[in-house]
């Protein structure tokens, strides 16, 4: 796990500069460094890095270009470039950053590497904790993101339903949460028929993990995460090219666990509940089939229009369970639809909620923390496309359009109070490396919700 180090005056300083203020800043530097920067053509361009040598050849100062005057970043992760561009050694921020918290977090997020199957290539640079920032919070967020990234990056041969459930139960035990797992044929016996139907064809039995943590008199916050450890598409099998990233189809569960880790480690005053339906969508003689009709926990019957729309089925039972406890805030995470990626691309998760005020709060926290989201509508006229002719509902709409919206509308049918619910349709993956976001699995929306839930709990406590 990447961590910050104790502040040291002997660490190599890093100055954040921009093109506008660079000429003035350059005049404050020692003449040899100023001359070296001029000879190197450094001008403060965003993302540019110059490591100036001292008299003995050792690094004396790092200059890093930011995007706007005052040390602000249009991309708050831009300082993460330092974690991969600087040579090994100990560094500290000296001046020019208006947001050292975000810069330090970006550094740690960029320092992440997935080393389960191959050793790290080299020792990277280390960063002193900036003075005046909440060091513990930065490390807490970075550790939780690393936990989620590790889960997503692990292939399905090593992270099937058993291993994902074990990871969730280990996290719960570490924080003293009360946990249980419902496995295999226990699922229909305990009224989780859709989870069982989707996962029963796999070699490892389907399961539901459910844990609770925090004082019983605190605001109830429930997180639900889609845990499809691999999605073949079932009998409506995917083409091979579409299966290449399907180890990440448990990214919703990984996101829920990362957020839960932040909240529990930070001792947030909430009654936290985490519900993870965990399956592999496989093909065998007892696979669920197109045209099958199954009951759900809520009592609605569901006709299967496509077995590759399995995530919403397992979430339906989990959301029904979550609603029975009447949480003050119910949030679900799922790598649910390609349609959301077509609409918004991989970097901008779609979200839905039945409450305009909650939507505005989510968007505000996303902007503040550089954890962007975009609200899509729960468009009522599309809901009728999910009405079944011989069942209460079908799991896919009758047309090819608005796939993310109709998926969200399907989920809404299983939520008791949609005005207290938010659904996030995630990608949970970086196709290429950018500052703060290495290629591979990633955790989207957890940082904004960590901040939002803490604020929500504080407001509720004041109003009590």
Indicate if 238 belongs to the active site.
Answer: yes
Indicate if 122 belongs to the active site.
Answer: no
Q: Which of 126, 220, 312, 341 is catalytic?
A: 312
Q: To which residue do tokens 């996962």 refer?
A: 199
- Label residue 357 exposed, middle or buried (CB < 10 Å: 0-12, 13-18, 19+): exposed
DSSP-based three-state secondary structure for 358: helix
- Exposure string of 271-289, with b = 16+ CB inside 10 Å and e = fewer, is bbbbbbbbbbbbeeeebbe
Return d(Cα 257, Cα 248) in angstroms, integer: 14
Return d(Cα 438, Cα 83) in angstroms, integer: 11
- Label residue 225 exposed, middle or buried (CB < 10 Å: 0-12, 13-18, 19+): buried
Q: Which of 238, 368, 375, 460 is catalytic?
A: 238
Return d(Cα 424, Cα 419) in angstroms, integer: 15
* Concatenated DSSP letters of 36-105: HHHHHT----TT-EEEEE-TTSSEEEEEEE-SBTTTB-SSTTGGGHHHHHSPSEEEEEEE--S-HHHHHH
Residues taking part in catalysis: 238, 312
């Amino acid at each position: 796990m990447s961590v910050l180090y104790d502040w040291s005056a002997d660490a190599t300083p890093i100055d954040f500069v921009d093109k506008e203020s660079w000429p003035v800043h350059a005049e404050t530097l020692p003449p040899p460094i100023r001359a070296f920067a001029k000879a190197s053509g450094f001008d403060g361009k965003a993302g540019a890095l110059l490591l100036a040598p001292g008299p003995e050849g050792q690094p004396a100062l790092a200059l890093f270009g930011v995007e706007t005057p005052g040390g602000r970043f249009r991309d708050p992760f831009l300082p993460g470039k330092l974690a991969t561009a600087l040579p090994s050694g100990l560094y500290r921020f000296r001046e020019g950053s208006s947001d050292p918290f975000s810069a330090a977090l970006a550094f740690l997020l960029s320092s992440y590497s997935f080393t389960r199957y191959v050793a790290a290539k080299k020792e990277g640079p280390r960063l002193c904790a900036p003075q005046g920032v909440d060091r513990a919070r930065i490390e807490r967020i970075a550790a939780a993101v690393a936990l989620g990234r590790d889960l997503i990056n692990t292939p399905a041969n090593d992270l099937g339903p058993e291993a994902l459930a074990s990871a969730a139960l280990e996290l719960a035990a570490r924080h003293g949460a009360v946990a249980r797992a419902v496995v295999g044929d226990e699922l229909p016996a305990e009224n989780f028929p859709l989870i069982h139907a989707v996962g029963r064809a796999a070699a490892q039995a389907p399961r539901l993990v459910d844990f609770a943590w925090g004082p019983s008199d605190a605001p109830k916050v429930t997180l639900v995460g889609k845990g499809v450890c691999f999605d073949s598409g079932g009998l409506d099998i995917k083409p091979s090219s579409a299966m290449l990233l399907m180890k990440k189809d448990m990214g919703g569960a990984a996101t829920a666990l990362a957020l839960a880790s932040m909240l529990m480690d930070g001792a947030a005053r909430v009654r936290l509940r985490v519900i993870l339906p965990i399956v592999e969508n496989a093909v065998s003689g007892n696979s669920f089939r197109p045209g099958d009709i199954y009951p759900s926990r809520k009592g609605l019957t569901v006709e299967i229009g496509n077995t590759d729309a399995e995530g919403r089925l397992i979430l339906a039972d989990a959301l029904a369970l979550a609603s029975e406890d009447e949480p003050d805030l119910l949030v679900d995470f799922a790598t649910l639809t390609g349609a959301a990626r077509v609409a918004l691309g991989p970097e901008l998760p779609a979200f839905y909620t039945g409450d305009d005020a909650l939507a505005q709060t989510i968007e505000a926290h996303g902007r503040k923390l550089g954890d962007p989201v975009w609200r899509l509508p729960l468009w009522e006229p599309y809901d009728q496309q999910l009405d079944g002719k011989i069942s209460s509902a079908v799991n896919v709409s009758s047309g090819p359009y608005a796939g993310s919206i109709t998926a969200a509308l399907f989920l809404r049918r299983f939520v008791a109070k949609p005005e207290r619910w938010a659904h996030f349709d995630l990608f949970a993956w970086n196709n290429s490396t950018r500052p703060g976001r290495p290629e591979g699995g990633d955790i989207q929306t957890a940082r904004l919700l960590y901040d939002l839930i803490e604020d929500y709990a504080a407001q509720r406590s004041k109003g009590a």
